[in-house]
Chain A
Amino acid sequence: MRRPAWLICCLASICIAAFAQEGPPQGGGDAAARAAARDKRNAADALAWNRNPAPQDPRDFSGVWWTRGYDRTFRPVTDSPMPPGESARLLPLTPLEAASRQHHLDMEKAGTPIADAPTQCFPHGIPRLLASPYPIEFVYSPGLITILHEVAHNVRFIHMDGKPVPADTPRTFLGYSVGHWEGNTLVVVTDHLNDRTQIDEESLSHGLQLKVTERMTKFTNRYGGVEIRDLITIEDPEHFTKPWTAERLYPWRGDIRIAEYSCEENNRNAPVNGISVAK
């Protein structure tokens, strides 16, 4: 069994090019009928996905969650919905990042996109990993929340033991994450990130000063489905003139388990032992 074909399609470069074109949603058609169809689909999804219910405790995220769809971008959230093209204009880019972003967009348009960390089977980085369109599982143990990501077997450790970040902590792809509870919101601060990953898949970069603060809250949507809302605040004064916040939603998936994903298998991009395995 494999993940649905649409997901594979979305990962293919042709589809990515289509996604990359920012613009307002297409008009026309019967909006009310589309909304009704969406409601019906969401209600059916919630029923199927609650097959094994999410834990009742609002602080217990144990189990599998899977973000809907596939979004290659992180964008600032606003109080009102707006087309992607509009939210992109709200990105508080420094001149450095404006030039860097344009370079990314230009390279992709030219058909020579910049290969970022996951291309070489390195961990995706934070926050990039948070947009991955694959299931994740929260595992609770004393003083630690572990998040297993299906994609390329990324593993995140959220340290909940109240201890400060160890002095000798190195910079890594996924950084060092410390969490605490504010009410029923899990607040996770991640730093000690290296500068070899991107903010998002499309175009946004970061430097060594990146700090990511996540605020994760479990809620029940209007279809009876359970979701985690993750509000992701990105701070990096080299790349952004002020902190900004993106959002990801992770619906509960009581109907699936995560699967084995070997990025390294058939990886033609990265040389191994100095020898390229590319054909």
Chain B
Amino acid sequence: MNVRSAGALVAAACLAAWCASTWVAPAIAAGTGGDADPLFEQPPAGVPNFTGKWLNAKPGGHLLTTSGSEPPLNAAGRAEYARRQAALKSGDHKVDPVSSCLMHGVPRLLYTSMPFLILQTTRDVNFVHEANHTFRNIYWNKAPGDEPDPSYLGYSVAHFEGKTLVIDSTDFNDLTWLDYSGLPHGEKLTVQERYTLENPNTIQGSLTITDPDFYTAPWTTRLTFKRQPGMALKENVCMDTHQM
């Protein structure tokens, strides 16, 4: 039987209420709509399908631009990055939000060493990650009436440009790191992901990061996902792992 100790720190109900206070929800468009209801658009016919199990070919690490140079941090960006680097070097890993099991944010979530599913449908495209069972639920259009509401994974909208899957994300909070090394960002961050199927087992991607709070100019980095047909997504529970 699983009756556990009554020494729980805080009542379950109190936590539920606490969690409730942290939700964000998309605005619900009012009314029953007219002839053309824009709440759910579909991608054009004949686009490639990215559905499958994938893994970043080079997880973790530090993001560099496509030319191999350091991202163009401004003075505030350099200061914040230096602060984080110093904390990590001194062994203070609590400075990393992921050490508290907070969501990785974008693009860092794409760089975990765990596999993820892309589930592309006519309704939406989902990135379902093994890492702390985190998912991004991305539609093909912005819902009418949606208002900015900062969140860990931002507000993403997908579309196709030819055979390239393009995902534009905005409305991030500033509680995540861009990469595992601690590159900073603010709430003005926008990320554009562009993915092409190089072959059935390889996705080539580029990410363009724009954030005037911490960078002097938009910059782009590249990444590769490899298909993982034999890999099963495991149940990964950050809060549980951390208590072991």
Residues of chain A at the chain B interface (Cβ within 8 Å): 1-3, 7-8, 11-13, 16, 47-48, 51-52, 62-63, 96-97, 100, 103-104, 107, 111-116, 118-123, 137, 139-142, 146, 148, 152-155, 157, 166, 170, 172-174, 195-198, 201, 205-207, 238-239, 254-278
Contact = CB atoms under 8 A, between A and B. Distances in A.
A61 B239 CA distance: 31
B180 interface: no
B4 to A, nearest CB: 6
B201 to A, nearest CB: 16
Contacts of B3: 100, 103-104, 114, 205
Contact of A174 (B28, B135, B235, B238): B235
B125 to A, nearest CB: 10
B8 interface: yes
A67 to B, nearest CB: 16
27 contacts: A2-B24, A3-B23, A8-B21, A13-B17, A16-B13, A63-B123, A114-B8, A114-B12, A115-B10, A118-B12, A119-B12, A119-B16, A122-B239, A152-B19, A153-B135, A157-B233, A201-B12, A239-B1, A255-B28, A260-B23, A261-B19, A261-B23, A264-B100, A264-B132, A271-B242, A272-B101, A273-B93
B153 interface: yes
The number of chain B residues touching the other chain, given as a range, is 35 or more
B2 interface: yes
B17 A11 contact: yes
A262 B15 contact: no
Contacts of B2: 195-198, 205-207
A273 B25 contact: no
Contacts of B134: 153
Could you tell me the dominant secondary structure of chain B's interface residues?
A: loop
Interface stretch (B29-37, B80-88, B189-197): B29-37
Given A139-B119, A166-B232, A269-B15, A260 B243 contact: no
B26 A268 contact: no
A11 B240 CA distance: 23
Given A120-B239, A123-B237, A257-B137, A112 B101 contact: no
B32 A48 contact: yes
Given A8-B21, A139-B126, A238-B1, A272 B239 contact: yes
B190 to A, nearest CB: 17
Interface in B33-55: 33, 37, 39-40, 51
Interface in B91-122: 93-94, 99-103, 117, 119, 121
B26 A1 contact: yes
B95 to A, nearest CB: 12
A44 to B, nearest CB: 10
A107 B37 contact: no
A276 B94 CA distance: 12
B234 to A, nearest CB: 8
Contacts of B12: 113-116, 118-119, 201
